[in-house]
Chain A
Amino acid sequence: MMEAILGRYIYFMTALLLVIGLYGMIAKRNLIKKLIGMNIFQTAIFLFFIQGATKPGATVPVLDARLGTEAAHYINPLPHVLILTAIVVSVATTGVALALLITIYRRYRSLDEGIILERMRRS
């Protein structure tokens, strides 16, 4: 039982980061804080995906002449490839979200969720 918990400690940390990001997206009223919560959530997903690639006693996936081409000497390269593109896509998504926030601020003069909803109901 203790070994099962000690071998899986990384999943507890990833779940904690996911809950912190979700708390920022749901419970905060400022729009910028919601955006930061989304970024924390994305980082937790990247961490969860990458940690599944390690092998005991293996090194980075760049072929070394002294180690040959055995599969047990290098860590799994496939999650690294997928997360590489996901990181750049998350930067572009944050850029689009910031552009939308600028437009909302120019129209409603506030970045608080309750005040924006009230002004939308009035106009």
Chain B
Amino acid sequence: MRERYENPIVEGVARLMVPLIQIFALYVITHGQYGPGGGFQGGVILAASLMLLRLTLGEEYEHRRFPPSLAVLLATSGLLLFVLAGLLPLAWGAPYLNYAYLPMPGLLEPEARYLGILVVEIGIGMAVWGTLVTLFDHLMGGEAQ
């Protein structure tokens, strides 16, 4: 499972499907406020697209394009985005994670909270994506028995 799958049909279908899966995952994350969806669901779909790439194209090719250290960086920066979006209202005297006081000129309170929810959902999506790819890499790495 760590070498390349030597079959042109499998490789062609995987290369075609992965961008479509990622666009759909981006749609699920950003339209989580109008229908079912949100950060967790989109993050899991993004991780599934990356696992498809690693299974069909072989690990030596994929580890150069998307190294495991990039997955860890993605996970921690997603959480950092969440924490910073909560710390920003503290500078204006509001409680932590109260998005109503985000410093955007000309926005009423409901729209400022809408923007706060969107930023937090993107942060959660990145964190879940990075963590699931890290789990996959460490469970599949190591020498074969």
A→B interface (CB under 8 Å):
60, 62, 84-85, 87-88, 91-92, 95, 98-99, 102
What are 6 A-B contacts with C-beta separation under 8 Å?
Answer: A87-B40, A88-B44, A92-B131, A95-B135, A99-B139, A102-B142
With a cutoff of 8 Å between Cβ atoms, the chain A residues found around residue B38 in the complex are 84
> Are A95 and B35 also in contact (CB < 8 A) when A84-B40, A88-B40 are?
no
Once bound together, how far apart are the Cα atoms of A91 and B128, in whole Å? 11
Contact A95 B40 (CB under 8 A): no
A83 to chain B, nearest CB (A): 11
Query: B36 contacts A95, CB within 8 Å?
Result: no
Given contacts A92-B135, A99-B139, A102-B142, 5 further A-B contacts (CB under 8 A): A62-B36, A85-B40, A88-B40, A95-B139, A99-B138
Chain B residues in the interface with A (C-beta under 8 A): 34-36, 38, 40, 44, 128, 131-132, 135, 138-139, 142
A98 touches B131 (CB 8 A): no
Chain B nearest CB, measured from A79 CB (Å)? 15
Known: A95-B139, A98-B139. A88 touches B36 (CB 8 A): no
- In the complex formed, the residue of B with least CB distance to A102 is B139
Minimum Cβ distance to chain A for residue B142 (Å): 8
Residues of B with C-beta under 8 A to A91: 132
Chain A residues contacting B34 (CB-CB under 8 Å) are 62
Report the nearest B residue to A60, measured CB to CB.
Answer: B36
How far is A77 from B36 in the complex, measured between Cα atoms in Å?
12
> Chain B residues near A60 (CB, 8 Å)?
36
A95, closest chain B residue (CB): B135
Q: In the complex, what residues of A have CB within 8 A of residue B36's CB?
A: 60, 62
A62 to B32, CA, bound (A): 11
Q: Is B138's CB under 8 angstroms from A88's CB?
A: no
CA–CA, A84 to B39, complex, Å?
A: 11
The residues of A that contact B131 with a CB separation of less than 8 Å are: 92
Q: Nearest-CB distance from B16 to chain A (Å)?
A: 28
Q: Looking across the interface, which residue of chain A has its beta carbon closest to that of B40?
A: A88
Instruction: Provide the bound-state CA to CA distance between A85 and B38, in Å.
Output: 12
- Contact partners of A87 in chain B: CB under 8 A: 40
Which chain B residues lie closer than 8 Å to A98 at the CB level? Answer: 139
Is the CB–CB distance between B35 and A62 below 8 Å? yes
With a cutoff of 8 Å between Cβ atoms, the chain A residues found around residue B40 in the complex are: 84-85, 87-88
A58-B139 Cα distance, complex, nearest whole Å: 44
Min CB gap B47→A, angstroms: 10
- Bound-state CA distance A91–B43 (Å) is 13
